[in-house]
Amino acid sequence: MPDNSKHSRQPFGQYPRVRMRRNRSDDWVRRLTAEQVLTPADFIWPVFVKEGGAAKEPVPSLPGVNRLTVPALVKAAEQAARLGIPMLSLFPYVPKEKKTDDAREAYRKGNVIDKAIRAIKQAVPEIGIMSDVALDPYISHGQDGLERGGRILNDETIEVLIKQSLALAESGVDVIGPSDMMDGRIGRIRDALDAAGHSHVKIMAYSAKYASNFYGPFRDAVGSKSALGRADKRTYQMDPANGDEAMREAALDVAEGADMLMVKPGLPYLDVLWRMKQAFKMPTFAYQVSGEYAMLKAAAGKGWLDNDKCVLETLMCFKRAGADGILTYSAVEACALLKRL
Ligand code: PBG
């Protein structure tokens, strides 16, 4: 029988023969037709390590996040491995006395990151360890690079980043994450690692790292906020206005030998993540940064948002936008939620 009903002549012609809601009717069919899944293997857990004192020290602007001593960090690593989290990303809390203008603490054998990597590698060899390459936790003025006459020096900074990368490799790091945004650092670090026999160490380039205002709580956690004062990082981190420029940054990092790419921050930059994944087809990661975590925790604390549901929703959105994995302070809580919800 010819279908000359009014609906078949509408621009989207098939209503109500096609009913999108049929595949949403029940939990089983929703699960069956889901385009993405979230698993513990999607998470990289950023953790803060400190020397001595109480085992755990809360970071007020990051509720639920603690700075840990090395023994407490080893326990956290065991927990993460049990949950199936593939990798940790280690960040140091460095007391003021150890910060200098040349950031030499960054590559000192026996610094807190060196101790942490060795201890985790010994106790939990099955978990991957990543660590940042940048000078900000170690430098008296809180910038990611060396400064002279009010300018952040590119090439001189790279020489220090190379020392830091080699030190991390010596400690046993699996992945280094240059987060400094100096030009040409991926290639120089790659060459230096290879020449020193560390060709197995992987590089996750913070390819598109924006000069974002969402890093505030992180700077509290590593103790670089007061050092930085009113200064900003806009001469090396990217302008939030720019997307094409992020593709050029990523192209350089790929050409220089990066193994994995990253976009940071996360949710406000999903378009950049999508473009980068589509353009390069590289393992591509998103960093759900401290400010994003803090916003959600603050709203949930007031009872304005459902923390658990929003955590999983945000993480799923990264997957939909093309992320192969997400650095998130919610990694452990998300593993518990995946089992429960
Ligand atoms: C340091 C670094 C920062 C973050 C990761 N590595 C801060 C910054 O660039 O000032 C931010 C992470 C977060 O906010 O969660 N280079």
- Which residue has the CA at smallest separation from atom 2 of ligand 1? 179
The reply to whether ligand 1 has any atom less than 6 angstroms from the CB of 134 is yes
Per cent of the chain over pLDDT 70 is 96
Task: Say how far residue 133 (Cα) sits from the centre of its chain.
Answer: 13
pLDDT at 75: 98
pLDDT 10s digits, 65-120: 999 999 999 999 999 999 999 999 999 999 999 999 999 999 999 999 999 999 99
CATH for the stretch 38-340? 3.20.20.70
**SS3 per-residue string spanning 213-280:** HHHHHHHHHHCCHHHHCCCCCCCCCECCCCCHHHHHHHHHHHHCCCCEEEEECCHHHHHHHHHHHHHH
Q: Is the pLDDT of residue 14 over 80?
A: no
pLDDT at 340: 85
Q: What is the mean pLDDT of the chain?
A: 95
Is pLDDT at 243 greater than 90 in this prediction?
Answer: yes
The pLDDT confidence band at residue 224, using thresholds 50, 70 and 90, is: confident
Instruction: Tell me the catalytic residues.
Output: 209, 264
DSSP H or E segment with residue 326: strand 325-328
Mutate to test the pocket of ligand 1, among 93, 218, 237 (most ligand atoms within 8 A of CB): 218
Mean pLDDT over 7-12 rounds to: 56
| Alpha carbon of 285 to ligand 1 centroid (Å) | 15
Residue 9 has pLDDT above 70, yes or no: no
Q: Tell me the pTM.
A: 0.94
Expressed in angstroms and rounded, the spacing between residue 292 Cα and the centre of ligand 1 is 12
218 lines ligand 1 (CB under 6 A): yes
Is 148 strand, coil or helix? Answer: strand
Instruction: Give percent of the chain with pLDDT exceeding 90.
Output: 91
Cα distances from 222 to residues 16, 37, 67, 129, in angstroms, run 57, 33, 9, 18
- Report the separation in Å between the CA atom of 222 and the middle of ligand 1, taken as the mean of its atom positions: 9
- Distance from Cα 219 to the centre of ligand 1, integer Å: 7
User: Is the shortest distance between the CB of 289 and ligand 1 below 6 Å?
Assistant: yes
Q: What is the mean pLDDT of residues 16-32?
A: 95
- CB distance 144 to ligand 1 below 6 Å: yes
Q: What is the pLDDT averaged over residues 181-202?
A: 98
The pLDDT of residue 10 = 57
Residue 265 has pLDDT above 60, yes or no: yes
Long-range contacts of 54-60 (CB under 8 A, 24+ apart): 59/217, 59/220, 59/221, 60/220
Ligand 1 mutation pick, 289, 293, 296, max ligand atoms within 8 A of CB: 289
